[in-house]
Structure 1
Amino acid sequence: MKFLRLSAVVATTVIAPAALLSPFATTATGAESSRPAAVSAPDVSIPLSEEADRITILRILEYPNNGRGVRDAAQRALDGTAQDMRHFLEVEQHRVRLDDYRVEASRLTESGGPDVREAALAALKANSAEAVRQFIEVGQYRARHSDYAVAVSQAISIGGPAVREAGKAALRKDTLQALREFMDNGQHAARYQDDRVRVTQIVSVGGPKVVADGRAALRTQDAYEVRRFIEVGQYKSRFLDDRARVVQISAKGGPAVRAAAKTALKTNTVKSVQHFLDVAQHDARAKDKAKEKAKPKPKTKPSKTKAKAAKKA
């Protein structure tokens, strides 16, 4: 059987085509940290037989990160003649893979992070197969590492204690895998812990409705429900607590207080209810007191003792 000696570049792309990764946030396989090694495999021999060529092409098709061009060309070769398969292995796969690389680089100029976009544009601007290949196989990973590091720093700057701790730990490891793990999973788990602490703090100073709804959110052990209470639920609950306070104050107040409370409850907005609690009730109470003081004092009849004393005098 005849054997064909292939160069390192040809052999590597036949056996292990480089992964075409998706944008900044995610990858097609979830193994973004496993950066393809630089092309450095020794020369290998591929047997010149139709069956061996078919097996090699099928192995290429098994890689999920192949671009559409490689997949389509490989399938056409399998559907064709022995010469078509040999032509694919020796010539066409390398051409269409570079086309796929260019397509991927173009996509990353739109969907990647800032550094990935800049590196992709530079590779495309160079307008050479080597520059595009270098970006896809090496450069994009370096750029993605930088983008993730920036994203982690941003999360730390606005996060709670748990988020800051987890983010700093990822930065200390300083690997693409650690940074991506924090962005994809770690920050969310840490934020849930921070949110639970925040709800507990809100409950500790809240009214009856805030306490009941906050505890209910915590019991769900659902990150969405806990976050929803912080962003929405606590305000609705506090409004109901404030309305209840207005009703209680009105029941014990004078005419002006009752009138002001009635107006606030009828308007039924957070602003009107809060204004009554902060300002209007005090103004109304002052009016009630002033009105009470302005009332004429009833004349009191002299006591019998004082009357008898006056007659004797």
Structure 2
Amino acid sequence: MGVIKVGTSSWADQLLVRSGWYPREVNNPAGRLGYYAERFPVVEVDTSYYAVPAPETTTAWVAATPSGFTFDVKAFSLFTGHHTPVAALPKDLRPAGGPSRIRWRDLSPEAYDEMWRRFRAALDPIAAAGRLGAVLLQFPPWLAAGDAARRQIVAAARRCAPWRVAVELRHASWFDGTTAVDTLTFLAEHGLTYVCVDMPQGHASSVPPIVLATTELAVVRFHGHSAAWTSGDKQEKFRYAYGEDELRHWVTRLTGLAAEAAEVHVLMNNCCGDQAQRDAARLAELLAERAVPAAG
């Protein structure tokens, strides 16, 4: 049976910092990451979606965490087809004039290649230390299933080689009826980890939580089930506490997933205050009660 690593999406969210989860004396970035890493074996880096970090920053992350700790790093928004603020790009690569938000095709091929080079340089210290779990390619909710979309996914994944790549798809067409089998087969054939997402259902961006491994690494992200999912208010969108029955149900599903994969990353993304940390801690306790192999 594979090992299960339970953690959260982010350790430095301002709502978390203000929640009181960190002791008063833990009051700087390195201290917070070190405190987090004493309690969880994996974390998702989401700040890299908004801006490519400097190698000095990621080197400091490695220094603040113990051997065996794992970072799953979300790819920069430009790489997955999202509209990206020009201000998020390094000054020397920003296109002159034009709109304030751009897509990847708005950059010259040379500038786009350079953005990828800098992203890879940022991840090199993490990978060199053996701490890089996977690069998370989270595609936008308007990316519908199709040949062009599949080519886009493969092209982005190749940019990350030889690192492991996890793919989160957020358009229902990828999982509509028998298309789900085609989607999972496509990911498996290209050595890409399918990201299972637990989220509110019944919305245009909803995808079902299919618990299945397409590679030796499986990833499950928990968004919660807030009734305000479409409100536009990030705090309300992720304001959700998983109940005991829900977590126990997921223990059974995750145990089955660990029988298929060598490693399972479970990431709580119901980031409202310290709720994600509390739910992650309880889920880890329940897995331990079932004697499921877990890192911690």
Shorter-chain TM-score: which interval? under 0.3
CA radius of gyration, larger in = 1
Greater relative contact order (CA < 8 Å, ≥ 6 in sequence) = 2
TM-score (structure 2 length as normaliser): 0.24
- Larger helix share, 1 or 2: 1
- Larger strand share, 1 or 2: 2
